[in-house]
Amino acid sequence: MGYSKSIRAVKKVQPLLEQLVLADGKIEWSSENPHADAYALREGIKSAALRAIHNDKPNEPYYSFARLNSKFIFRTAPGKIIAEPRDFVPILALREAHSSMVAIVGAAITHNAYKMYFPDASIDCDLEAVYSWAKQNEYYLVVGAGLTLTRDNPGEIAWRPQDES
């Protein structure tokens, strides 16, 4: 059975949805039928998503309700419904590391200089990917306080992946 598209699906769980919009952490509700009530919550969020945008503008409160699906994971336990925040920390760390690597390679492609120093480059970025690109484009990678790409062979201080040393 699919989710209802009716506005009644939202109205039925609106007090719980309003609680979730204001919440920053885990929330639990007691319930006699947690599976059906969790289904009703998900159904209300799905129905709100259909009404979230009106005339190319956010349609409150449906817009806020629709965003709850990406903010919480809904689980059931005996006699209760649990709304747990999704963990975005690993995703944000991965995005930051990836953007640092893309910025380094992008600048190197754009400027094609003999030697380029990136003082703010995150050492946590994907150095293997930067190294792979640098090797293909005849650059050496030096990691220290920042990151340097150079066409001069720096000798022993050139960074190499563990399996290539």
Radius of gyration of the CA atoms of the chain, in A: 25
The Cα–Cα gap between 23 and 158 comes to 49
Does residue 93 surpass a pLDDT of 60? no
The Cα–Cα gap between 8 and 6 comes to 5
User: pTM of the predicted model, to two decimals?
Assistant: 0.53
DSSP state of 71: H
The Cα–Cα gap between 35 and 151 comes to 62
Q: Where are the alpha helices (DSSP H) in 3-119?
A: 7-22, 34-50, 62-66, 68-71, 89-111
Q: How far apart are the first and last CA of the chain?
A: 58
Tell me which residue of 62, 43, 55, 61 sits closest to 5, measured CA to CA. 43
Instruction: With residue 132 as reference, give the H or E element that holds it.
Output: helix 127-136
What does the pLDDT read at residue 112? 74
Does residue 161 surpass a pLDDT of 80? yes
The Cα–Cα gap between 81 and 79 comes to 7
Tell me which residue of 124, 67, 134, 71 sits closest to 95, measured CA to CA. 124
Say which residue, 123 or 110, is predicted with more confidence: 110
How do 80-85 and 72-77 pair as beta strands? antiparallel
Per-residue pLDDT of 32-64, as tens digits, reads 999 999 999 999 999 999 988 888 888 888 999
